[in-house]
Chains A and B, each alone.
Chain A
Amino acid sequence: MAPGSPLWFDLIGFGAGGWGFALLRATGVTIALACAGFALGLVLGGAVAWARLSGRRGLAAAARLYSTVIRGVPELLVLYLLFFGGSAAIMTATRLFAGEGFVGAPAFLTGMLALALICAAYCSEVLRGAWNAVDAGQAEAAEALGLRPFAVLLAVTGPQVMRHALPGLGNVWQLTLKESALVSLAGVTELMRQSAVAANATSKPFLFYATAAGLYLLVTTASTAAMHRAERTSKAGERTA
């Protein structure tokens, strides 16, 4: 390394000229983006799974088509569809009322929505499998005890479905977290984008992309550990031989 050039440690540190705070903040944005996308995706995925299990032919076919198509095409295309499609829709809308010109779709919202749509397809498969894994007798017994349908779902079948779904949902979460890096292409300043900015500003791409990889690893490892804990807790009531 040439004398006088800043040390690596200074560049990713928190002092003057260090990118530490920016990278940490961007990691926070990544986590927020992934959490929001996952939460919305879980709700949508629940709806898609319900549609597939509803017994109504058309609805089930539509849900199946959705999950097959989304899981069969690159995630990048889904993101482009929402980002460019969203911009086009907003521009059409603004043209009706006001002037011309390019109006971008709000990047964070678009990215979150894209992640949610992808996540929903995978979640629906996990939830459907988990639902089928719960013995039908459980719901029948609850009904026989006089519980209303909503109470059956809330107190009897729901918790059991979640227990079966937990490992699968953990995988989907990891996937969503890693895919959130794609949203950098839509211009959200999350970890990936911030690293690219720092890499360009300092001409140290290796340092900053390696740091980004390390931070992603940190988040995925922490969430794996949390997931294992959650799985253990969810199994606390299970009887084992």
Chain B
Amino acid sequence: MTDLPFLVDCLLRLARGIPLTLQLAALSVAAGFCLAMLLALVQRGAVRPLAWFARAYVFVFRGSPLLVQIYLLYYGPGQFEAVRKSIAWSVLREPYWCALISLSLVTAAYGSEIIRGGLDGVPKGLVEAGQASGLSRLQNYRLIILPLAFRNALPAYGNEIIVMVKATSLASVITLMDVTGIAYRLISETYRVMPVILLSGAVYLAVNALVVLAVDWGAARLERPPGDGRRNSRVRIAVEPGRH
């Protein structure tokens, strides 16, 4: 039953989708993280309308399926003639940009909740100590609050990255040829469901295993106090793929 040449051929074709999958995941996590920082900080800020907007944003993007968001962004704007005639259309008619924007927007919503949790976990005494030693608001954030918040948030953010690697598969429903898109095509060409699914599943598992390793490594580095020469202060953290 096993047919080695077929399996090798499948794997080679699936591998051609890996760059797109990785690219979508990496770029959306990076862009989403910046937006998430903004959303988290604005929610703690003094400008009420901005805080309300951020809260509404998080509510909407976490409460509806990603598939709806992708369809809304990809098919929705075409309804308006004004959009079709504007410069934005050159971006919005491209499935790649729609997928990337949708993925970034949704991970920003989840990410901002994680960062908010990280910021809440920073002990009040340390913030006050920073103020008392004469740090400006900005310095206090840069030197004390944010580094500690990142350390608190990293394990949960690792989960979020894994969720995003999986979520890139939805890009295939708007015609992008990522790993899942290629798997779909292979199935409809060969009708051999099991091997194709198993191989593509293995590709995602391998990518996610690398993410777990990277996050573990990053967490171990952050746990080490600055100036600590010890090389092997490895800390095990439980990064498990999980949804919100």
Contacts and interface: CB of A to CB of B under 8 A. Distances in A.
B187 A84 contact: yes
Contacts of A75: 166, 169
B208 interface: yes
Interface of A: 68-69, 71-77, 80-81, 84-85, 88, 122, 125, 171-172, 174-175, 178-182, 184-185, 192, 195-196, 199, 203-207, 209-210, 212-213, 216-217, 220-221
A191 to B, nearest CB: 9
B76 interface: yes
B47 interface: no
A63 B42 CA distance: 43
Interface in B57-77: 59-60, 63-69, 71-72, 75-77
B50 interface: no
B152 interface: no
B204 A72 contact: yes
Given A199-B75, A216-B64, 18 more contacts: A73-B205, A75-B169, A76-B180, A77-B169, A77-B197, A80-B184, A80-B187, A81-B194, A84-B187, A178-B64, A180-B65, A185-B173, A205-B79, A206-B79, A206-B80, A209-B76, A210-B72, A213-B69
A76 B68 contact: no
Interface of B: 59-60, 63-69, 71-72, 75-80, 162, 166-170, 172-173, 180, 183-184, 187, 191, 193-194, 197, 200-201, 204-205, 208-209, 240-244
Contacts, number: 125
Contact of B204 (A74, A81, A192): A74
B197 A178 contact: no
